[in-house]
Amino acid sequence: MRVVPERISSTWIGTLTDEDLIAVEARLHERFAVLERREKRLHGQKYQLFRSPPDVMDAWDRWSRVNSATRARALNPRRSR
């Protein structure tokens, strides 16, 4: 399991194998999803991602950077159900 740095950069992403990238993307997505569900429970229909607390926005930013790289490599992220 690769350690995700505090600051995710394109340089770091470039060091990842396809398998590592998919695994990191899945972990970051799960973290974001947990935080987003918490906010959705708190705010219901009034929930707006871009008005979320900093921890949710940080999780979204980290996940979206890695997700974009996954798409750029034409990889399909895994989602647990």
Closest CA to 40 of 25, 26, 27, 53: 53
pLDDT one-digit tens code per residue, 44-72: 999 999 999 999 999 999 999 999 999 99
What local confidence, expressed as pLDDT, does residue 79 receive? 72
Higher pLDDT, 27 or 2: 27
Would you call 49 helix, strand, or coil by DSSP?
helix
Q: What is the pTM of this model?
A: 0.90
> Where residue 81 falls among pLDDT bands split at 50, 70, 90?
low
Give the chain's radius of gyration (CA, Å). 13
The pLDDT of residue 80 is 64
